[in-house]
Amino acid sequence: MFAAWTLLLTAVIITAEFSFEKVDYLNGKHLIVATADLNPYMYIYHDSNGTIDHADGIVHEMMLWLTLKYNFTFNYVEPPDGYFGAFENGSWNGMVAMTIRKEVDLIATQLTTTYARSKVIDFTTSFSKDPMSAVIPAPKEDNFMSAIVKPFQPGVWALIIFSMFSGTTVTWIFMKLIDKHMPEHYNGGISNLQFWENFMYYFGIISSQAGRSMPSVGPLGHAVRIIAAAWCLPSVVFIYLYSGCLTSFITIPKLHPLIESLDDLATSADLKLTILKDTVFESMILEATSGGFKILGDSLRENPKNRLSKDYLEPETFLNKALTGRFAMVDQKSFLEYVLNLAFKTYGNCEVTLMKQEIVTSLDSMAVQKRSPYLAQIDQGFLTMAALGLQNYWEKRFLKKPKCEGNFDKGIAKPRLNLANLLSVFLLLVAGMRESSKTLKIDSVAHQQKNDKAIKFKI
């Protein structure tokens, strides 16, 4: 009995091994692999004749690993039309079409899985998750020219100026009244303040200029002084509030991204949506019948130029359009991060950044022909790579989080003030000097005329 069991078990094991042996379809094969340049998953380098010279990137590393594991060889071909695969005018284009026509065995790039595609080709296990996002112009720092008036709202400024004039008017009228009705208590010498001299007192307090004092007039001498004292108190509040706010405005710049989400984009007057033509997300937007997506879809239909051709798969071309500052350019986040890194590397600053919201997250896979014998082994290979941590390793190597991403939402205190921060103050001084020299000129002309008159009289 036991011997029979052992025999059966051995037979089962032998059969299993035999059938496992049989599924090694890849051993010794040569595969034709469709691919398309999509940084950072796939970099394709051409020689001067335009043929593929070598490749790099996460997907390429995966291909190399698979060839070693399953002992096969391959060569890359690119789709003549440059597309990944969209259903247009009743037929598929791009690499999907090549696979349907059985011209290629495998599509190896970051191919988004969709239901429609899954009906005509077989996807492998997904190897990455890549949300859609958008590159947008970086939020600009506040304009420091306006910093000196910013701590208060215009209404507050108006009220402060109004209160200065009110105080001036009251003290001035009091002085006149005392002069008229109680002339014996009016010291005409030092207390005979003109309207503008009164005003200068109030101005002196609020601009922290000591040196002027309110003279005592009247029998008790307090009437005008009480108003002046009452003015001093709010002045202290104004001055401290102003200097506190000014400090924070200048040292902690407030940066507001122009848009944070697709809904913001739908209502934005400054930025237009652009997106690669014939991509999964573009169809989603174009097919939407309500809400923000519908508005974006309408915008795309009105501006067909914003549906980008495949030339924009080239990061430099993509970046140049983003740098015009008029578009929110939607694409896979990994690609956008690559573009941001490129922007920083090329220009050394952050003219563009990423939109905060991640839109839809798609799964990326490779794909094979329907009912391909290779699928099971490639799937097994992907699972092994994931289990070994190779995916993480390659992602760390190729996906670099750009400097220009996401450090805009926290205002970062600046270590030192720069000239731009204080430009408005210096400009004010220059304006003051110009006005002053103008006034001197007018004075001298007046003086000249007076002298001329005097000379005439003498004559």
Ligand X SMILES: *[C@@H]1O[C@H](CO)[C@@H](O)[C@H](O)[C@H]1NC(C)=O
| Binding-site ranges for ligand X (CB under 6 A) | 27-28, 47-49, 71, 88-89
For 56, the 3-state DSSP assignment is strand
Q: Name every residue whose Cβ is closer than 8 Å to that of residue 83 and which is 6 or more positions away in sequence.
A: 93, 94, 95, 278, 310
For 455, the 3-state DSSP assignment is helix
| Separation between Cα atoms, residue 254 and residue 142, nearest integer Å | 7
In the complex with ligand X, which residue's Cβ is closer, 28 or 411? 28
Q: Minimal distance in Å, beta carbon 115 to ligand X?
A: 21
Measured from the Cβ of residue 138, the count of other Cβ atoms closer than 10 Å reads 20
Q: Minimal distance in Å, beta carbon 145 to ligand X?
A: 51
In the complex with ligand X, which residue's Cβ is closer, 88 or 443? 88
In the complex with ligand X, which residue's Cβ is closer, 50 or 154? 50
In the complex with ligand X, which residue's Cβ is closer, 32 or 423? 32
Backbone φ, ψ for residue 406 (5° rounding): 75, 5
| Separation between Cα atoms, residue 357 and residue 261, nearest integer Å | 5
For 81, the 3-state DSSP assignment is coil
Residue in 81, 366, 133, 164 with CA at minimum distance from that of residue 259: 133
Token reading at 368: 């094979």
In the complex with ligand X, which residue's Cβ is closer, 78 or 122? 78
In the complex with ligand X, which residue's Cβ is closer, 70 or 201? 70
Whether the CB-CB separation of 141 and 251 falls below 8 Å is answered with no
User: Is cis: bond before 415, omega within 30 of 0?
Assistant: no
For 329, the 3-state DSSP assignment is strand
In the complex with ligand X, which residue's Cβ is closer, 67 or 421? 67
Amino acid at residue number 309: S
Q: Minimal distance in Å, beta carbon 89 to ligand X?
A: 4
The full length of the chain comes to 459
Q: Minimal distance in Å, beta carbon 100 to ligand X?
A: 16
Q: Minimal distance in Å, beta carbon 373 to ligand X?
A: 16
Whether the CB-CB separation of 362 and 132 falls below 8 Å is answered with yes
In the complex with ligand X, which residue's Cβ is closer, 73 or 153? 73
Residue in 282, 308, 303, 294 with CA at minimum distance from that of residue 362: 282
Measured from the Cβ of residue 382, the count of other Cβ atoms closer than 10 Å reads 21
| Separation between Cα atoms, residue 410 and residue 356, nearest integer Å | 13
Distances in whole angstroms, Cα of residue 260 to Cα of each of 136, 268, 276, 303: 9, 11, 20, 22
Cα–Cα–Cα angle for 427, 446, 197, nearest 5°?
Answer: 60
In the complex with ligand X, which residue's Cβ is closer, 49 or 324? 49
Token reading at 362: 């798609």
Q: Minimal distance in Å, beta carbon 309 to ligand X?
A: 12
In the complex with ligand X, which residue's Cβ is closer, 69 or 150? 69
Token reading at 51: 């043929």
Backbone φ, ψ for residue 53 (5° rounding): -95, -60
